[in-house]
Structure 1
């Protein structure tokens, strides 16, 4: 039942599945170890939630390989659950959506479908307030340190990596991340050496093994990489090897970062409880949206852990700006064609815009790449 405090109602919900083509096949260590094929596209799930007020919130989820059609199918099933709800009651709605599909679990694809709705509700709430999302949450800063990942993939030659690193810095991006985890560790070390020599010691440099090392290899590589003064070593082990990550944290000087592959706040609580990360890397679309991400932020802050959200910079710049500790946000230009707006980058940082909500709107190209769509109306 609703009372006088009900200020608005959801009248329409649209979900759409967009297939975003990548300019070239992308390879990280998982491809070189034979576990995956090069990535050629990203499936993006969009949710648009319109209320009686006339405002519409935009949210998103994604799958970099299999799973996109499944996310869309589950989101389509959940659309009617939102109709008639007060969009301000975001945590209540999250629980209703989760219980509607509880038999398929509280993590993974099930909550990734919910994430698109949750992010759209937060976008809508910030728009109603006339504030950027970070300001609605309570920003600690108006810009966040940013680093580029797309120029460091393993399918690129070292010459291409060096060129793209220089281009990133010239654009105002503050740091560079390299993919490692090559079956021949000598190749990894040669690439890191070349980039460090080219950029110098003052440019923040990160590496990412994408979970492809076993414990012995991770120890050996962390020891070899310690002298490079890296900002962090990312996903040296399987994402769920919390104890193995904790041993690396306690042994080596270089910070250990992980968490992007976890799909619930509960899994992140296990990682943090085990002492498995110096830097946590939650992904709002993967863990169920902003409502769950805020739980992660509170827990990480209470344990004095740094934050560097994974991917989806259009969402994460707001969340990183609202984290009490200085954070990082990952620059990926892949989503640029999907939105009419661009992120502002200068002096090594990604800057918040004055636009309300997330500050982005879907482009005509995103509409053209839509392969499935469903609308529910009250």
Structure 2
């Protein structure tokens, strides 16, 4: 069994060095969605990132990241620190094998959630490295179906934002070349949700794609009532109307509404997403590569979603998901958040309603000096290049 994990004669390069970094990105304004207004979470003031930088004996480099909101960041870093030493000496091309090796290195804590989210940073870095070595953008390495993807903005429509500012934010997003707008709903006062939604639809007009996101805060009867009440707004989708694990409830809602139902961002493994797919519980599936363990499991999930003819709209982390969405057979959406921009030296090209795949190799991003300044912990393994 052990021999299966050893690089074979075809190995041309080996991982020689890995650096892990814990980074805290502060948000300019505390952010609230429906989970805050219902008392289940506190406002979000920062995002914790786990970065992995990998180098090989032949001089190739890759960078990847995972993240956590409100809690879990220190845990991801601690778990990654425990299992990362097994990378040294591995062939960086054997990404799926390495993913499995890392899972087994930390098998006692399971194969989902924090355990695989720690692996995600390494997995993304390996894919970045592989594409850079090939001299290709990651989307092209995977085999893209398009060079740009429809994008919608979420960051301007949170519930802590007064409706007048939401309208200004929407105008600014459209001015940046973004095609769709998503606003948060799910407040205890459902009438207020409908008032905000009506104001946004009137402001945008009928031709602009509009989505809503309840962040899991409705029960089944409320979701049915609100779904019916929102049919007239011609929404692209209603997102997370119910608890993320309520497969039966989502399935009933999806079958009864004309408006598509979207969900999946909070799930932490391919297996959990498979329950949604098998239960016909979503019209639009919204996986998050860092949350489910990286690009390797994301590609497995994308194949399942494609087989069942589902729409795809990956959650957050547009710097990663643009490439993955570009490689999905059916026309997808990518979520626009400008929050991560200070972490990188490069910016994405957004115009004509679409986010364009960069021509730079790999993911196309390098860490900024600001990201280094926000680093709270770091460790290294192997020999520094």
TM-score > 0.5 by shorter chain: yes
How far residue 81 of structure 1 moved from its aligned partner, in angstroms, is 0.9
**Equivalent residue, structure 1, for 2:3:** none
Counterpart pick for 2:343 among 338, 360, 364: 338
Does residue 313 (structure 1) correspond to residue 321 (structure 2)? The answer is no
Counterpart pick for 1:370 among 360, 369, 375: 375
CA–CA separation in structure 1 for the residues paired with 2:243 and 2:86: 36
Counterpart pick for 1:45 among 47, 50, 72: 50
SS at 2:211 equivalent? strand
CA–CA separation in structure 1 for the residues paired with 2:9 and 2:358: 34
Residues 323-362 of structure 1 mapped to structure 2, 5 A cutoff: 323-362=328-367
How far residue 7 of structure 1 moved from its aligned partner, in angstroms, is 1.2
Does residue 60 (structure 1) correspond to residue 42 (structure 2)? The answer is no
How far residue 243 of structure 1 moved from its aligned partner, in angstroms, is 0.8
Residues 1-378 of structure 1 mapped to structure 2, 5 A cutoff: 1-377=6-382
How far residue 53 of structure 1 moved from its aligned partner, in angstroms, is 1.7
Give CA-to-partner distance per residue, 1:62-111, whole Å, 9 cap, x none.
Answer: 00111000000001111101000000000000000001111101100000
- 2:7–2:90 Cα contact (<8 Å) kept: no
The normalised TM-score by structure 2 is: 0.98
Structure 1: tracts of 5 or more residues without a match? none
How far residue 56 of structure 1 moved from its aligned partner, in angstroms, is 1.1
The normalised TM-score by structure 1 is: 0.99
SS at 2:63 equivalent? strand
SS at 1:30 equivalent? helix
How far residue 336 of structure 1 moved from its aligned partner, in angstroms, is 0.3
SS at 1:333 equivalent? coil
CA–CA separation in structure 2 for the residues paired with 1:82 and 1:4: 18
RMSD: 0.6
CA–CA separation in structure 1 for the residues paired with 2:81 and 2:107: 15
Structure 2: tracts of 5 or more residues without a match? 1-5
CA–CA separation in structure 2 for the residues paired with 1:332 and 1:78: 31
SS at 1:371 equivalent? strand
CA–CA separation in structure 2 for the residues paired with 1:360 and 1:231: 30
How far residue 2 of structure 1 moved from its aligned partner, in angstroms, is 3.3
CA–CA separation in structure 2 for the residues paired with 1:276 and 1:83: 41
How far residue 3 of structure 1 moved from its aligned partner, in angstroms, is 3.2
SS at 1:341 equivalent? coil
Give CA-to-partner distance per residue, 1:235-283, whole Å, 9 cap, x none.
Answer: 0000000110000110000000000000001111111000010000000
